[in-house]
A and B are shown apart, each in its own frame.
Chain A
Amino acid sequence: MLTIAARELRSLFYSPLVWVLLAVLAGLLGWLFLLRLEDFMQVQSRLLGLEGAPGLTDLVAAPHLETAAVLTLLVLPLLGMRLLAEEYRSGTDALLFSAPISGLQVILGKYLSLLAVLGLILLLALAMPLGLALHTGLDWGKLAAGALGLGLTLAAFAAAALFVSGLTAQPGAAAAGTFGLLLFLWLLELSGAGAPSGINLLAAASPAYHLKPLLNGLIDTGHLLYFLLLSAAFLLLTLWRFEQRRHPRALHARGRWGQRLHAVLIVALLALALGLAAWLGAHYRMVWDWSAAARNSLSPASQTVLERLEGPLQITAFAPETPRLRRAIGDIVARYQRHSPRVELLFVNPDTHPDLTRRLGIRVAGELHLEYQGRSENLDHIDEQTLTNAIQALILQQDAWVASIVGHGERQIDGRANHDWGDFGAELQRKGYPVQPLELTETAQVPRNTRLLILNSPKIPLLSAELQQVLDYLERGGNLLWLQEPDSPPGFEALSDRLGVHRHPGVVADAAASGLGIGDPAMALVPRYPAHPATDGFELLTLFPHAAALYSDLDSPWAARPILRTQAQSWTETDPIEGRIRHNPEAGEQIGPLDIGLALTRPTPAGVQRALVIGDGDFLSNTYIGNGGNLDLGLNLVRWLTGDHQLLHIPAKTAPDRQLSLSPQAAFRLGITWLLVLPLGLLFGGLWVWRRRRAS
C-alpha cells in the first residue's frame, strides 16, 4: 500500500504538472487571501466598536478555507485523473494485477498518495492565516475546526476523483468526469435556497452544506459522518469497479441483465447503508463548538427557555429568496434547533404570499413570525437576545388569562358597540391571550389563573363585596388595568387609596389637537413616551379622547411612573367643552404636561406586581383603536402588564481577533511571500526537478 503511494508520489513530483498546479494554486490562494485581508483592514476600525462583531478568523480565515476547497475542486481532476485511468491506458495495471497485492491495497495506496498531495494544499491554505498569528490572537478553535472541515472535504473529493479515474482508460475523460461530478456535488447546496422547508435533502448531499458549520467552528458528528461515509462509499465503489474490470462480460442477455442487477443491487445497498448511517448520525449526534466563546452555541439562558417548550414552535421567516439572508436566519435558528427538536423553521417569500404577509402584520423582509400553541409574535430583527425573549414570552402567555369585569356598564371586551373593546379583545385573542368577561357576582373571588384584571370605566359603583374581591386580588399580587373617565362615578375610593392614584377633576383639553386639524379640543395627544419598559422603542402618536388627568400619592407603597403624558399646551378643563375654552387656573384647572397614564409597580415575593391606571378608556374602543398608534400601544401595555418575567439579558459574543496590527513592512513581507516567493519557488522547484531528470 505504501509502496504504491510512494510510487504515485514519485511519478507525480517527477513530472512538472503537479508543481505548476501547486504554484498556480498558491498564487491564486495568496492573491484572494490578500484581497480579503485588505477588506478586513478597511472595516476593522468599525468592528472594534461593534458588539458581537466578527473577527479576522470569521471574515478572512473561514472564507479563505472555503475558497481553498473550491480552488482544489478545480485542480483535483488533473491530479486524480492519472491514478487509475493512466495505468489502464499504458498497460501498467498488469504490474498491479500480477503482483501479490490485493485490490484494496492498490486503491488505498492510490488514495493515500492523493491525500498526501491534498495535505500539502491544506498546509498551503492554512499557512496564510497562520502567518497572521504573530499580529493578532486568532480564534484557534475555529481555525482548527475549519482545517478539519477542509481536510475532510478534500478527502471526500479525492475519493470521488479516484472513483471516476477508475471508470475509464482515458485520463482526459476521467479529468472531465471528475470535474463534473465534484462541481455537481458542490453546487447541489444551492438547490436548498428556494426550498420551502428548513431541511433539503438535495442540499444536504452537498459537501458545501456540511463544510459550512465546520468553518464556523462547529464540530457536529453528523457532518463528520457525512464526509467519512462519502469517502468510504466512493472508495468501495472504486474497489468494486477495479475488481469488476477483470471479470468477463456475460455472454447471454440474461447474464448481462444479471450483472446489471448486481451493479444496481450494490449501488442500492450502498445508498441504503449511507441513508442508515445518515439517519443514525442525525439521531445520535453530538456537537461541539470549538469557536472562541462558543459563538455558535446558545447561552444557558436560551437553553433553559427552550427546555420549557411543550409543543412545536413554528418559526416562519418572511425572507425573499436571497441565500445570504436565509442562511443568516437559518444559522441562528439552527442553534435553537440543535437544542430542541420542537423548533421548526419555514421560509416564506413575502412577494409570493402577500395576503399571508399582510394578515400576519409582516412589515420588513426578514421578519420572523413565531407561533406557539396558538399564540404568536413577530420579530423584525433576529439575534439570540430577541429570539429567546420572544420565545419566553410565548411560553409564559399560556396561562395568562385576561379577565374584564362586567355588570356595571363597563366597556365590553367582546362588545360590538362603538365604545366597547371588541376589536382590541379580538386582537388580544390573536396574540394568544385568552380573554374572558368576568361577572364578579358569580364568583367568590377573582379566578386564580387571572394574569390581568381589567376594570374598564364602570358607569355605576361596584358592590362592596365586588370591590373587596378586586382588593383581595390586588393583595394576592394580581396585575390590574384600571381605566377611568372624567365622569366616572364615585365609590372607588378604597381602590384609589390602595393604589395611591387620584383623578384631577375636568377633561384634558389639548391646544395641540386643533393644530393637527382635530376639531375636538378634548383630544389629548401623546407624541413621546418616557423611558419605560412598557413603551420601550414605541414612537407612534396616540390619541386619548376625553381623558382625565391623574396624580399619585408620594407615600404609596407602589412606585408610580408616568407612562402617558400630554404636552405643555394641555390643561384640565372643568367647564363643559363648548365654544371657546381656555385654561382657568383660578378654577383649579391643572396646566400640562399632564399625566393621563400611571404605571405602578410593587415588589412581591413572587416577582413584580404591576398595575396601570389610565384616565381614558376610549382610546382602545372600537371607534378610536385605529387612530395613531393606539392599538400598538394597547398591546404593548398588556404585554408589560402580563409579563412578570424579567427580560433575559444575553450578552453578545465577540470574536477575539477583531484587531490586526500589521505594519506596512510586515504587510509587504506577507504580500511578497504569498504572491511571489511561494508560487515562484514551487515553479522553479518543479523546473529544477524536471530538468535534472530529463537529462538522464
Chain B
Amino acid sequence: MRTKAPILAQAQALRRDYGDRCAVCALNFQLRRGEVLGLLGPNGAGKSTTLRLLCGLIVPSAGRVEIGGHDLQTAPLQAKRLLGYLPEVPPLYPELRVEEYLRHCGRLHGLSRAALPGALADTLARCGLSDSRRRLIGNLSKGYRQRVGIAQALLHDPALLVLDEPTSGLDPNQMREIRALIRELGRHKAILLSTHILPEVRAVCDRVLILDHGRQVLEGPATADPAASGLLIRLQRPPAAAALSALPGVAACEPAGADAFHLRLSTEADPAALSAALTAWGLLEFQPRREDLEDTFVRLTTGEAAAGAPPC
C-alpha cells in the first residue's frame, strides 16, 4: 500500500563537489508520501549537503532533484511550494517575536492573509509554543528555538518535510516530543531527516539511507538488515573456522572468543539441519543473532573508511 503512494521527492545521480572534494556522489533515492526516510552517516558524510541540495540552497554539480514532479532547477518555485525545511541551524531572526517571525515565514511561503491566523495557531499548538508566541526569539532557550525552527517548516503545511538533525541540542523529554511529532506528521507527509543518532532512526524512520564519504552505502528498512542475519554459537570442541564455514548454509564464520563463533547465513540456510551438524562439536549455545542497525552502520562506514576514499 505504501509503495502505491505518490513519489514526492526523488534524487537522481545527485552530485556536489566542493573544490576537489566530492561531498555527495551519485546519490539516488525516492521518497513517497507517508514515508519517513532517515539519512544516516558519520559527521562529514554529506548528510547536510544532501538536504541542502534537495531544498535548492545549493545547486548540484550533476544530477537532478524532483519534488512533486517538478524539477528543482527548471521549476524551482513550484517545487519549493511543496517544501518545508529545517536547516541544521534554525534560520531565526532573534530580534523578532515568535509570532512575528512565523507570520513572516508564512507570507514568504505564500500563505494568504486569511489563512495565516489559523495556520499559526495550529502550528504553535503543535510545537508547544502557544505560551511563547509573544516572546522574543533572541530570549528563547535552545530547545525552544529548535521548536520555532520546526514550526517554521510546518507552518505552510508542506507535503515534504526536510529536517536537518531536528533533535540536536534538545533534552531527552523534548527529543521524545519531537520524535512523536515527526512520527505523527509522517503518516501524511513525506519526511526526510538527517541524524547521527541511531535510536532516533529506529524510533521514527521507515527506511534508512546510510551515507559515507558522500556515497550511498545502504538503503533499506530501518529495522534490521535481513541479509546480514546470523547465528551465535558456542562449542565444547571448537574446530577450525574453515570447517565451520564449509557447512551448508554458512556464508561466513568469524571467531568471537575462545569457543564462540559468529556465523553469517546464506539465504537458503536451514537452521534445523545446521544445529544437527553442529552437535558433532558439542553445541553449547545456539542463538539467532540479528545484526542491528548499529552493527550495520559500524560495519559499512568503518569498512569504507578503511578502504580509503571512495573513487568518485
Contacts and interface: CB of A to CB of B under 8 A. Distances in A.
A is bound by B: yes
Interface of A: 3-4, 6-7, 10-11, 14-15, 90-102, 246-249, 251, 693-694, 696
A94 B152 CA distance: 12
B59 A248 contact: yes
Nearest to B106: A3
Given A248-B61, A251-B20, A94 B87 contact: yes
Nearest to A101: B108
Interface residues on B, range: 35 or more
B298 interface: no
Given A11-B96, A91-B87, A91-B88, 18 more contacts: A3-B107, A10-B95, A10-B100, A14-B96, A92-B91, A94-B55, A94-B85, A98-B80, A98-B85, A99-B109, A100-B77, A100-B109, A246-B59, A251-B17, A251-B20, A251-B61, A696-B97, A696-B136
Contacts of B92: 90, 92
Contact of B95 (A3, A15, A246): A15
Contacts of A248: 16-18, 58-61
B77 A95 contact: no
B91 A95 contact: yes
B241 interface: no
Contacts of A246: 56-59
B260 interface: no
Interface in B97-155: 97, 100, 104-105, 107-110, 134-136, 139, 152
Q: Which of A96, A694, A696 has the most CB of B within 10 A?
A: A696
B57 A98 contact: yes
Contacts of B80: 98-100
B93 A11 contact: yes
B105 A694 contact: no
B129 to A, nearest CB: 14
B81 interface: yes
B83 interface: yes
A247 B57 contact: no
B58 A696 contact: no
Q: Which of A6, A247, A248 has the most CB of B within 10 A?
A: A248
B18 A7 contact: no
A696 B56 CA distance: 35
Interface in B1-39: 16-20
Contacts of A95: 91, 105, 108, 152
Given A10-B100, A248-B18, A251-B61, A102 B87 contact: no
13 contacts: A3-B108, A7-B96, A90-B91, A92-B91, A93-B57, A95-B91, A97-B56, A98-B56, A98-B85, A101-B108, A102-B77, A248-B16, A696-B134
Contacts of B89: 90-91
B173 to A, nearest CB: 25
Nearest to B20: A251
A696 B77 contact: no
A55 to B, nearest CB: 46
Q: Give chain A's interface secondary structure class.
A: helix
A93 B91 contact: yes
Nearest to A109: B108
Which 6 pairs show the lowest CB-CB distances between chains A and B? A92-B91, A95-B91, A98-B85, A100-B80, A3-B107, A94-B87
B97 to A, nearest CB: 7
B94 to A, nearest CB: 8
A7 B97 CA distance: 12
A7 B137 CA distance: 14
A249 B108 contact: no
Contact of A696 (B81, B83, B135): B135
B96 A98 contact: no
A94 B110 CA distance: 16
Nearest to B164: A94
B136 A693 contact: yes
Contacts of A91: 87-89, 91
Nearest to B22: A251
Given A10-B96, A98-B85, A100-B110, A694 B136 contact: yes
A101 B156 CA distance: 14
A92 B18 CA distance: 21
B144 to A, nearest CB: 13
Contacts of B136: 693-694, 696
A248 to B, nearest CB: 5
Contact of B57 (A6, A97, A101, A249): A97
